[in-house]
Amino acid sequence: MIGFIVKRFINYAILSAIATLSAYVLASLILNPAGRYLGRNPRPSDETINAILNGLGVNPNTPVVARLWTWLVNLVTHGSLGDTIHNTSVISEMAARAGTSLRLLILGTIIAAIFGVVLGVWGAVRQYKASDQVISYASFTILAMPSFVIGILLMIMATGLNNILGMQLISFTGEYTAGLDGGWWTLFLDRAAHLLLPTISLALMGAAGYSRYQRSAMLDVLSADYIRTARSKGRTRGSALVRHGVRVALIPMSTYFAYSFATVLAGAAVTELVFSWHGMGEMLVQAITESDINAFTGAILFNAILVLIAGTLSDVVYAALDPRVRV
Amino acid sequence: MTNSAPSLDSASPRLRTRPRHGDTPSNTSEHLLEVRDLRVTFPQPGGAVTAVRGVNYHVDKGEFLGIVGESGSGKSVSSLAVMGLLPSSAQISGDILFEGRSLLGRSDRELSKLRGEGISIIFQDPLSALTPVYTIGTQIAEALQLHDRNLSKLAANARAVELLKVVGIPNPERRAQAFPHEFSGGMRQRAMIAIAIANNPRLIIADEPTTALDVTIQAQILEVLQKAKDLTGAAVVLITHDLGVVAGNADRIAVMYAGRIVETGTVDEVFHAPSMPYTIGLLRSMPNLATAGHTRLVPLEGRPPMLSNLAPGCPFAPRCPIAIDACRTTEPPLTPISGKPLNASACLRVDEIASGKLNRTGIYPVPEPVALEERAEIVPESVLGVEGLVRHFPLTKGSVFKHTIGTVRAVDGISFDIRSGQTLGLVGESGCGKSTTIMEILELAKPQSGQIMVNGRDVAAMSTKERRALRRDIQVVFQDPMASLDPRLPVQDIVAEPLTVHGVPARERLQKVRDVLDLVGLDPSMASRYPHEFSGGQRQRIGIARALVTDPKIVVLDEPVSALDVSIQAGVINLLEDLQEKLGLSYLFVAHDLAVVRQIADNVAVMYLGRIVESGPAEDIFNDPQHPYTRALLSAVPVPDPSVERTRRRIILEGDLPSPTEDITGCNFRTRCPLYQLMDAAAQEQCRTADPERRIVKGSSVACHHAEHIGLMS
Amino acid sequence: MSMLEEMPIADTSAGEPATVTGRKPVSRFRLVVSRLRGTPRFWVGLVGLVAVILWAAFGLIPNAWNATDLDVYNMGSSPTGLHWFGTSDIGEDIYAQTIVGLRKSLVIGLLVGPLAAIIAGVVGAVAGYLGGWWDRIIIWFIDLLLVLPSLFLFILLSPIFKSLSWVALIFLLAGFGWMIMARVIRAQTMSLRDRDFIKAARFMGVDTWTIIRRHVLPNVSSLLIIDATLGVGGAILSETTLSFFGFGIQAPDVSLGTLLAAGQGAAATRPWLFIFPAAILVFTVLSASLVGDALRDAVDPTSGVNRD
């Protein structure tokens, strides 16, 4: 079992590393950091621009391989990811933003997983009954919405609710109310209120996807011979499905979790942008619009590490659930 | 329900007289189980299908009932109805009485109290029937705790180990901790039996319990089942398609056809004096070890009807050679045969058959052999020679750094030779290497070691072009006729495919396809249809036609009839025999069914763990096997004749086939060899240290040091 | 499940053609069609999809305004008899704009779905059939593409595609939309490879490419059709998300994404600017995925039966 997980971890680590490095190379080839200075008035001299770009290590005149090497050496020797175009270090920028993104991601994923599994199992057991139809159509509808539409619809609804109540019950712009005074408790409540809509938005999307997958995994299990065996021993149908069925139907979910995680990341980034959160998603998009190669690579590295963790975690769950992979 | 967990010691007499709690059974019926006019209908998109159409039977306490039928006869559906395990969409009518109380219409909760405690069931496929994520011990303990809430987990586990011991699993304490995938097929089926007998049920239903297993394992399981029956005193209903399986064990038999019981009676009556033409035909079409090889098989033409589209009258009438007009209008009820109270038969002409007015053996005509002038002339020459063929697979371990920890000796130096017009039967249990052998031959590539000669030429020395040309001469027919035909291509394209490889022009191809379809007994006008429009037997004929389209010299037949229903097998075997005569073909016939091999093979080679342990003329090997393995294998084959079954002594091999990775010094059969046990220390020493060479003993070539002492075994 | 085998309906074959008495055997195709007909989900999706396509094609005819017309007398108007979906701040007719945007989104979706399915089919079949190093490299490449959200890659590549026409976006979306399906096709191919009819073809000497073309691809075609259908919705979603953030369709071209971006700011105060295009978008994608899901259920032989 340890061997299996170590192998999968190494596999994910290599994939994440290569993804980050190729992101760096691609960004270096596509983005033009010099463009930002050329449009300035007065236009800085070529020497100045070159000096700035050299300082950041993003001068297009240096071969990409050489720049990549410098970047890598910096990372290994100083633990540095270089500076952003605003002359702050990428690491500090990430440190300021990572918490915001993680809060949303972790909460959203956990809620999505719980609801997805429960609704999926329920739908499968009640296949083609009214409750299954409702769950199915609801999840299809949610899956048919881009994440920004969900976010904006939630905001429209919250505005409506706030108007009806005549008070700011649900806040949804930004991550907290700027300049709010008060004790620890007030600040916590404020943050929780701001967290509500983005989390719902992310959890809705995740739960819709997971429930469809869990439903079909559970349907496969419903017809399995061992359910029949469990019933022949004296279990009722419901108890056989719970004790024997769900346990087995969770196994493919752990793999699906790893594969769907990239989608979740994209959804989280979009959600951050829609709700004006200063998270890693915003950093990534801003980096591209500002042609900031170092910041972009940093953001990608952050995502790659999350994929690495999520992938390994799902393999641990997989190995824990399925005795057949335990060597 | 019971507070004490009764021990399974056979000496314990209270097992059979165990007091039963709950409501007192209203003893209106003296039968343990009585099924009355059971009908089961499944609603389907294309119209409802009635899978069981009015079935009546009963089982008494401690009785052994065999229910025999081909696929689609409704035998499993009727037993699942008894357990209350049919899908909720199934419409069930009639009545099922267990200990006098009706089971139909009871809630799942009520039935679940009875399942496992009163009636238990053993399913066919023991791999999928056990939950993969729980240990064997847990799954047995679960069955115990479900019916005895007061049983502690510890006590349940201890009982589970005890039960594993009862069903003959070595090292039960350790094996209880194992997961189903760590068990072999036979061991899983033993565990299933342990679950079934855990609560001392009064009735055990065994639904094809040995179908997926090898013949030596089948013999073991049947023995365990008999033991379980003796220990618990339960009645047993054994459902099977194999008449041989029930011949030795059952008290009574019910034969099912098209959703009904068409004949029932004591085992002797049904086997020796069958009165329903279907039973007669089934018994005559089965290759039988005792009679095979001398007479031609008598095929039962046609196929079972579609239950979704049943014509009026007797469902067997279209296949029945003695059907009269009345048969096509009225469906005969199951009527008792005069003078035999236990026997009944559903045939309008039952009196004529029972009284002997209609001669049983004369009902089905014996097919004529191929006329002499149609037979091909054969020049005796070697067409396929295999010399010291070896195929080893490295066994790797470690997920991070792979390293070889052993070798799977799938094929470990085998040699044989097939002459033109001859059939070599290659037999052995699954895992013995027979499939690997034919795959190696069909690749026509240089083997790891050894030599493959086709038409006297070494394939290793050939160029790609020569090899492709050679493929004309060697063709293959696979086991599963559905899987071996591409469902997306019409039959003419399937059959013509080998010709496209050799650049035959389209018009010629079409003509050739028509010729071979005609040759295998299919209407050439059906060439534009798709495989799904054909029945199993017809599909296998298409597979044979494809193999013959290039005019090959050798046809490799990989279990060509084992996926077919018994009544269809005979027709395909006869066809293969006829084609061999007409075209002078050579066959390499791979099978696990020894009776089929006996029917068709001229020579036989028996494989065990990648080696050929005995080979020689079929006649000699089947009549007087010289190797202890061959002898055990032959003795494990059930014979569809109750008097033979009861009198003969079975040699039961112990344990499973060892893993081919195991390094067994000396003779690799000695770990399971019954003869080894009987030899003295010096002789055993020889088995342990020296690998036996093949040598000629009484006409066959045997790899055993002590073949001369084979007589000790019987 | 042995019980299902017991039921003769599972065997789709017919009686002996020599003694044909009953109905014609049900072919797989007809079985799928008859299953589809019995699925309400399929009809809902199909009717929805056809309606959307017809509306996109002919919806402008009864409307008095074109997408580029500006009604300076009715700027920022809510839905009225004159402007069915209302107007924008500068007097654009939202109804006309929605139809034009929908056309573009539909064209992109209908092209990207099948294109991605074709790539998935070829790559998956090659990896699954050839196995060995080919398989490892392809799978590794797919995993690499799956590690990072393709949205980020689209955004990174957008500077290149902005300079090209919107048609380039089709290839970009198809180029990153095939990976998961390729894995499914590969798994399917690997099980096909062990089927006897493929083995038979190999032993006859049929060469690899012919086997993939003649035997593998036709046998995974049902999966590819499903994938192509489901891919339509997925592609529309990707396109709108990209365009929403300004990385996809560029002015003067209009798509549902750019419309939604324009309407976003006013979503809370003048919801018609956002709600109408959003509803059409959701309706379109939902219809396509309902059809795809119904197809998947109909093709899967074990689905649809009430199994308990």
The CATH number of the domain holding residue B455 is: 3.40.50.300
Q: Which residues of chain A does C157 touch, with a Cβ-Cβ cutoff of 8 Å?
A: 26, 30
Report chain A's terminal Cα–Cα distance, integer Å: 5
A222/chain B closest Cα distance in angstroms: 11
The helices-and-strands tally (H runs, E runs) of chain B is 24, 24
The set of residues, in sequence order, having a beta carbon less than 8 Å from that of C46 and lying 6+ positions away, is C287, C291
For an interface test with C, which of A31, A125, A140, A211 has the most C Cβ atoms less than 10 Å from its Cβ? A140
Q: Taking 60 as the threshold, does the pLDDT of residue B6 lie above it? A: no
Q: B286 and B405 share a domain?
A: no
Q: How many CB atoms lie within 10 A of CB B671?
A: 15
Same domain, B429 and B308: no
pLDDT digits (tens, 9 = 90+) for B336-353: 887 788 889 999 888 888
Q: Under an 8 A CB cutoff, do C152 and A284 touch?
A: yes
Residue B390: pLDDT band (50, 70, 90) is very high
Per-window interface: A 186-245 vs B, CB < 8 A:
224-226, 228-237, 244
**Crossing angle of helices B277-285 and B566-583, rounded to 10°:** 50
B647, B635 contact by CB (below 8 A): no
**Please, which pLDDT band fits residue C291 given cuts at 50, 70 and 90?**
very high
Q: Which residue has the tokens 């409704």?
A: B74
The pLDDT of residue C300 = 67
Average pLDDT over residues B378-401: 82
* pLDDT tens digits for range A140-152: 999 999 999 999 9
Q: Which chains touch B (3 or more CB pairs under 8 A)?
A: A, C
Q: Is B670 exposed, middle or buried (0-12, 13-18, 19+ CB in 10 A)?
A: buried
Q: Is residue B165 part of a domain?
A: no
A226: nearest CB among B130, B199, B397: B130
Tokens 């600017």, residue? C273
Give the tens place of pLDDT for each residue, A272-315.
999 888 899 999 998 988 888 999 999 999 999 999 999 999 98
| Least Cα separation, residue A110 to chain C (angstroms) | 20
| Identity at C213, one-letter amino acid code | R
B662 shares a domain with B613 = yes
Query: Residue range B155-167: average pLDDT?
Result: 94
CB contact under 8 A, B133 and A247: yes
> Structurally, how many domains does chain B consist of?
3
Q: B390 and B356, same structural domain? A: no
- Cβ-Cβ contacts under 8 Å, C275 against chain A: 156
- Chain B residue closest in CA terms to A231: B112
Confirm whether B129 is domain-assigned.
no
Q: With 80 as the cut, is the pLDDT of residue A81 above it?
A: yes
Question: Is B331 within a domain?
Answer: yes
Stretch 524-553 of chain B: residues touching chain C, C-beta under 8 Å? 526, 529-530, 532-536, 538, 546
For residue A302, the distance in angstroms to the closest alpha carbon of chain B comes to: 26
DSSP label at residue C93: B
Chains that touch A (3 or more CB pairs under 8 A): B, C
Break chain C into its structural domains and give their ranges.
Answer: 52-303
Query: Which of C267, C290, C307 is the closest to A152 by Cβ?
Result: C267
In this complex, do C18 and B523 lie within 8 Å of one another by their Cβ atoms?
yes
Interface of B with C in 471-530 (CB under 8 A): 471, 475-476, 478-480, 483-489, 494, 497-498, 500-502, 523, 526, 529-530
Contact between chains at B123 and C2 (C-beta distance less than 8 A)? yes
- Residue B24, pLDDT score: 41
Predicted pLDDT of residue B13: 37
Q: Is residue B252 part of a domain?
A: no
Residue from A132, A149, A204 to probe the interface with C (highest C Cβ count within 10 Å): A149
B388 near B415, Cβ under 8 Å?
Answer: yes
Domain match, B351 and B384 both? no
Best B533, B539, B542, B549 member to test C by mutation, with max C CBs in 10 Å, is B533
In a domain, B581, yes or no: yes
Find chain A residues with C-beta within 8 A of B195's C-beta.
229, 233
Please give, rounded to a whole number of angstroms, the shortest distance from the CA of B4 to a CA of chain A. Answer: 18
- Segment C261-287 shows an average pLDDT of 87
User: Which domains does chain A possess?
Assistant: 2-321 (1.10.3720.10)
Both B563 and B433 in one domain: the answer is yes
Q: Please, where are the H alpha helices in B22-152?
A: 75-83, 108-114, 136-147
Domain co-membership, B411 together with B467: yes
Listed in sequence order, the residues at least 6 apart from B221 whose beta carbon sits closer than 8 Å to its beta carbon are B186, B189, B190, B193, B209, B210, B213
ipTM of the complex as predicted: 0.86
Range with lowest mean pLDDT among B24-38, B306-320, C46-60, C223-237: B24-38
- Are residues B404 and B293 located together in one domain of the fold? no
Name which of A156, A98, A154 is nearest A282 in CA terms. Answer: A98
pTM: 0.84
Q: B456 and B604: one domain? A: yes
In the CATH scheme, what is the homologous superfamily, with its name and number, of domain C52-303? MetI-like (1.10.3720.10)
Candidate from A235, A248, A324 with C-beta closest to B181? A324
Domain limits for position B306? 274-363
In DSSP terms, which residues pair with B292 in a beta bridge? B295
Q: How far is C120 from chain B (nearest CA, A)?
A: 20
Which chains neighbour C (Cβ–Cβ under 8 Å, 3 or more pairs)? A, B
Amino acid B299: pLDDT: 86
The answer to whether residue A119 scores a pLDDT higher than 80 is yes
Percent of chain B with pLDDT over 90: 47
Q: Is residue B473 predicted with pLDDT exceeding 60?
A: yes
